[in-house]
Amino acid sequence: MAKATFHFPRGFLWGTATASHQVEGFNTNNNWWAWEQQPGRILQGHKSGAACNWWGGKWREDFDRAYESHQNAHRFSIEWSRVQPLPDQWDNASLDRYREMARWLVDHNMTPFVTLHHFSDPIWLVEKGGWETDEIVGYFEKYVKKVVDALQEYVSLWVTINEPNVYALYGYLFGLFPPGKNDLRLALKVMENQVQAHAAAYYAIHEMQKTARVGAAINIRPMQPARPDSLADCMIARMISNQVNDFFPMAFSTGVMRFPFRRKSLPLAKNTQDFLGINFYTIEDVSFNLNKSRNQFHTRFYPPGVETSETGFLANRPEGMFNVIKWAKKFGVPIIIAENGIEDSKDTLRPRYLIEHLHQMWRAVNFNFPVKGYFHWTLVDNFEWERGWTQRFGLWELDVETQQRRKRPSADLYAEICQENGLSSEMTARFAPELLEKIFPD
């Protein structure tokens, strides 16, 4: 075995990522809480309930865990329904709570990475038409200004919208997220409104804070043709990838929105990403399927023999990390891995997944691809949207009933990586010895 350490650049950000509705608990004034009350919406009828009880104060304990694990950054989100519970009402106590969280991180030499919209919307906004209406741009801009005004003393790294592609497709095409619609026209309308809202927020933030770095976090799911020699598979894989992966980064880069069979110019959106946030989990194979007209004539799956997570939700295909970063380089802005992780309640796959993906990220860095940080999903088990509590992504296990946390072995692995600012053969030997010959060959 060759003894070596793969180091990352000085100042590299190492953290974990969280989202308000998934960790705070009792967010009763948003669309996700209402969605959970409807039968059949969440797997096994689960509800977020107290979640990780961050709003009850547990955020301090979890931040302590992150700090003691040598993380130098943390990504968290603001709950719009807490900050603006009614159209004409602002909750300054909630803003003070988020300000306290940001200040805590700065006081502990950790960089706050703040997401302004992470899937959940206030009930009042939904009643006014939500992201389907053109008025959303003004509503969002007003909310963003309020939050930035409160937090700008401590925060300068902002995500406007988390996974706008997932929000639009899952909520308006596949029906898995609220409002549960299956309308391609509406999905495209929402996507257009998201681009406009992001652009408005981008300029509003920069007007208020000259040092701000503003971007979005896009869920990038590479699509490989199941049969590379099939023209139909290649064409459908390219088409779906363009819609899912390319639409938003291209709009924020060029000011052009590329819808299926048409384009629309929005010059205001051009060059409105100071960085590209990438949420990467896995790769899917795609095949053309004439019988899937409601699913745009394609089937997505993992090929036989690929290592998958315990529910089969994700596959461990680490080569995708390098390929995604290589793809992102074309946008000419710094890259932040804003989410990456795997569900694994027994913590048997996670060490291998983490090491292999970070090795691929290190490879990309050594090609001078501008990767500036990595945020693992997630710090502690949380409420995983329509999948409820059935998936465990945390470095710390959560007992939902007692709110007790238990450290998983991967938490120690990640702590060593953060402390070293690198990945070593010695770490690999202790946490995933089966990878030694592959990553550190003689």
Task: Write out the DSSP string of 194-260.
Answer: HHHHHHHHHHHHHHH-TT-EEEEEEEE--EEESSTT-HHHHHHHHHHHIIIIIHHHHHHHHSEEEET
Reduced to 3 states (helix: H, G, I; strand: E, B; else coil), residue 326 is helix
pLDDT tens for residues 181-195? Answer: 999 999 999 999 999
Question: How many CB atoms are closer than 10 A to CB 74?
Answer: 28
Convert 332-356 to b/e letters by CB count within 10 Å (16 or more is b). Answer: ebbbbbbbbbbbbbebebbbbbbbb
State how far the Cα of 124 lies from the Cα of 142, in Å rounded to an integer: 15
Q: How far apart are CA 282 and CA 377, in angstroms?
A: 13
The pLDDT assigned to 295 comes to 77
The C-alpha atoms of residue 313 and residue 282 are separated, in whole angstroms, by 10
The separation between the first and the last C-alpha atoms of the chain, rounded to the nearest angstrom, is 5
Instruction: Encode pLDDT of 233-245 as tens digits.
Output: 999 999 999 999 9
> Which amino acid appears at position 105 of this protein?
L
Mean pLDDT by 10 residues, the chain (442 residues): 90 99 98 98 98 98 98 99 98 98 98 99 98 98 98 98 98 97 96 98 98 98 95 94 95 95 95 98 95 84 96 98 98 98 98 98 98 98 98 98 98 98 98 96 86
Cβ–Cβ under 8 Å, residues 81 and 121: yes
pLDDT at 45: 98
pLDDT at 1: 60
Decide if 395 contacts 411 (C-beta within 8 A).
yes
> Hey, what domains does the chain have and what are their CATH numbers?
5-222+274-283+315-439 (3.20.20.80)
Gap between the Cα atoms of 61 and 195, Å rounded: 36
pLDDT at 293: 79
pLDDT (tens digit, 9 = 90+) per residue, 358-397? Answer: 999 999 999 999 999 999 999 999 999 999 999 999 999 9
Distances (CA, A) of 128 to 80, 115, 121, 147, 167: 15, 23, 11, 21, 18
